[in-house]
């Protein structure tokens, strides 16, 4: 079996080793949204030079140990990367091109907030070729409740500008908001689809620990739609998007075929990705071993560590086979295409049968939550709706 798995690994290698996705975290925002627990911070003044240099230094340290790799995507995420100095974005992309073997069709995404879109043309000149905008809602009252600093008109104008400058543009909306019903969401989503390009991220509102929304929720002042309404909202979302030609390729992501986010696909397909910047996670193969990396979360202490030792890493551990299998399941079952079981075995070092309880797997298939063939394991629509409990049962 081990030999077989070693042979399989070759199927997923290029001349320059396994492909690599690169994530760069920019940890600052103009204001903190009350629902959000991303690693994002508000500062009166951001030291662009310091943070730009620290990102470049940490990238250089990571690249040195990864060796030559085929770089398939770069993602500037946050926080609000549209607050980054375009010269820092250009410098990071220039470094990446020197460190790695850049794929001809390299995807370079930058997340933007409608309040900071003045430099989109400069990001394009720097090498960004895809933009993802946080619009969240097209409803003025909802934007105010979400604590957003822009109007719906400003969000739509930001999108129009992005579409003039970039051929690949996506935007985020949050739904299943307090008081939202099926009729109003369908209307809002249809309006969104009318101005959408080829990709949308549509997230159900989640109450995250230690956010102002959590306090409101605890006090009963913020009531989410019940489970049945949330399911109906999800089904309506899929239906409206499909009608507009955008297919659900992942639980919260919709695209015209071929326009999926290649960077995010690398996470869900459990491929190698390097994470640079405060709080960034990575999964990288070093000397044939898959390792989990994590950087210091708080921006200034992270920068200090980078300045002192060249990187802000707080943990860098090999991932045991059982954990690799659990992670590959957690990520892969989010995808409509499911999990390539040949890849699964090559990546984790164990087969699906060695990774899950056969009885539970059979029950999930029997109940219609999973389809399993020798090649693929896929969560059905029914399984996707209850993905958390499905994963809880399967990936223990
Ligand atoms: C890093 S932000 C995107 C760019 C930019 N920071 C912005 O908000 O305009 C990532 C996305 O995560 C989503 N998000 C954050 N917190 C969420 C929550 N609690 N529930 C659902 N979606 C959330 C939002 O749609 C947000 O656009
Ligand atoms: S949703 Fe975006 S803008 Fe708002 S706090 Fe989170 S990362 Fe910042």
- Distance from Cα 211 to the centre of ligand 1, integer Å: 13
- Distance from Cα 59 to the centre of ligand 2, integer Å: 24
pLDDT at 394: 87
Task: Give nearest CA residue, ligand 1 atom 1.
Answer: 78
- 146-150-154-156 Cα dihedral, nearest 10 degrees: -20
Burial 245-258 (b: 16+ CB within 10 A, else e): ebbbbbbbbbbeee
Q: Report the atom number in ligand 1 closest to the C-alpha of 29.
A: 6
Task: Give nearest CA residue, ligand 1 atom 27.
Answer: 134
- Alpha helices, H only, the chain: 2-10, 48-66, 86-99, 120-126, 140-145, 152-165, 182-195, 212-218, 227-243, 262-268, 299-309, 321-332, 341-348, 352-355, 358-366, 381-385, 387-394
How far, in Å, CA of 134 to CA of 170, rounded?
A: 9
How far, in Å, CA of 380 to CA of 386, rounded?
A: 10
Q: Report the atom number in ligand 2 closest to the C-alpha of 134.
A: 2
pLDDT at 396: 65
pTM of the predicted model as reported, rounded to 2 decimal places: 0.96
Task: Give nearest CA residue, ligand 1 atom 4.
Answer: 134
- Distance from Cα 303 to the centre of ligand 1, integer Å: 24
Mean pLDDT by 10 residues, the chain (396 residues): 54 64 98 98 97 98 95 98 98 98 96 97 98 98 97 97 98 96 97 97 97 97 94 96 97 97 97 98 96 98 98 98 96 97 95 94 95 96 89 82
Task: Give nearest CA residue, ligand 2 atom 7.
Answer: 79
The binding-site residues of ligand 1, defined as CB within 6 angstroms of any ligand atom, are: 29, 35-36, 38, 77-78, 80, 111, 113, 134, 136, 172, 174, 203, 205-206, 208
């Amino acid at each position: 079996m081990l030999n077989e798995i070693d042979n399989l690994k070759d199927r997923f290698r290029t001349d320059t080793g396994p492909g690599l996705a690169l994530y760069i975290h920019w940890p600052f925002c103009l204001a903190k949204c009350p629902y959000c627990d991303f690693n994002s911070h508000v500062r009166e003044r951001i030291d662009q030079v310091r943070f730009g240099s620290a990102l470049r230094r940490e990238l250089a340290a990571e690249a040195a140990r990864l060796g030559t790799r085929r770089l398939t995507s770069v993602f500037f995420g946050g926080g609000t990367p549209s607050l980054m100095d375009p010269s820092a974005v250009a410098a990071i992309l220039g470094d990446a091109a020197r460190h790695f073997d850049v794929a001809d069709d390299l995807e370079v995404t930058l997340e933007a907030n409608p309040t900071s879109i003045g430099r989109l043309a400069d990001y394009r000149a720097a090498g960004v070729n895809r933009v993802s905008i946080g619009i969240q809602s097209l409803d003025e009252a909802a934007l105010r409740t979400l604590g957003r600093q822009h109007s719906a008109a400003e969000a739509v104008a930001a999108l129009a500008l992005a579409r003039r400058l970039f051929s690949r543009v996506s935007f985020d909306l949050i739904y299943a908001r307090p008081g939202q019903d099926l009729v109003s969401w369908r209307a809002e989503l249809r309006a969104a689809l009318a101005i959408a390009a080829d990709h949308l991220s549509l997230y159900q509102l989640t109450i995250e620990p230690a956010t102002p929304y959590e306090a409101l929720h605890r006090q009963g002042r913020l009531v989410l739609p019940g489970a049945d309404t949330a399911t109906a909202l999800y089904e309506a979302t899929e239906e409206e998007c499909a009608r507009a030609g955008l297919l659900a390729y992942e639980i919260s992501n919709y695209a015209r075929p071929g326009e999926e986010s290649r960077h995010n696909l690398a996470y869900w397909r459990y491929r190698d990705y390097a994470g640079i910047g405060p709080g960034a996670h990575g999964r990288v193969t070093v000397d044939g071993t898959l390792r989990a990396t994590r950087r210091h979360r708080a921006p200034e202490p992270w920068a200090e560590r980078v300045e002192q030792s060249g990187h802000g890493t707080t943990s860098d551990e090999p991932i045991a086979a059982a954990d690799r299998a659990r992670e590959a399941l957690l990520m892969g079952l989010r995808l409509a295409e499911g999990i390539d079981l040949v890849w699964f075995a090559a990546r984790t070092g164990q087969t699906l049968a060695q990774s899950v309880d056969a009885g539970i797997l059979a029950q999930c298939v029997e109940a219609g939550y999973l389809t399993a063939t020798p090649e693929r394991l896929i969560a059905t629509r029914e399984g996707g709706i209850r993905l958390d409990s499905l994963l809880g049962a399967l990936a223990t």
